[in-house]
Amino acid sequence: MSNENGKVLKHGTQTRTMHWIHLLAFIILGLTGVGFYWDIGGIASIFGGEANASLVHRWTGVVFVVGPLLYTLLNFDRFSRFMDTISHFSKDDFAWLKVMGGYLPFIKADDVPPQDKYNAGQKILGWLIIIGCLLIILTGFPMWLWRHSVPAVFLSFCYDVHFWTAMVLILLVAGHFFLAAIHPKSRVEFSSMMLDGYIDAEITAHHNAKWFAELKESS
* 5 binds another protein, rule: CB under 8 A: yes
Left (φ > 0), alpha (ψ -120 to 50) or beta: where does 97 sit?
A: alpha
Applying CB under 8 A, the site for another protein has a residue count of 53
* 66 binds another protein, rule: CB under 8 A: no
State which residue, 3 or 111, has the beta carbon closest to another protein. 3
Taking the complex as a whole, how short is the minimal distance between the CB of residue 95 and another protein, in angstroms?
23
Extract the runs of DSSP E, i.e. beta strands, from the chain: 7-9, 198-200
Residues in region 111-130 near another protein by CB under 8 A: 130
* 108 binds another protein, rule: CB under 8 A: no
Angle, in degrees to the nearest 10, between helices 120-144 and 76-86? 120
Look up residue 116 and give its amino acid: D
CA dihedral 190, 194, 200, 204 (to 10 degrees): 70
Instruction: Count CB-CB contacts under 10 A for residue 197.
Output: 17
List phi, psi (to 5°) of 105.
-65, -25
State which residue, 103 or 157, has the beta carbon closest to another protein. 157
State which residue, 41 or 175, has the beta carbon closest to another protein. 41
* 48 binds another protein, rule: CB under 8 A: no
Q: Residues in the site for another protein, rule: CB under 8 A?
A: 5-9, 36, 39, 49-55, 57-58, 72, 76-77, 79-84, 87, 130, 134, 138-139, 142-144, 147-157, 159, 198, 201, 204, 212, 215-216, 218-219
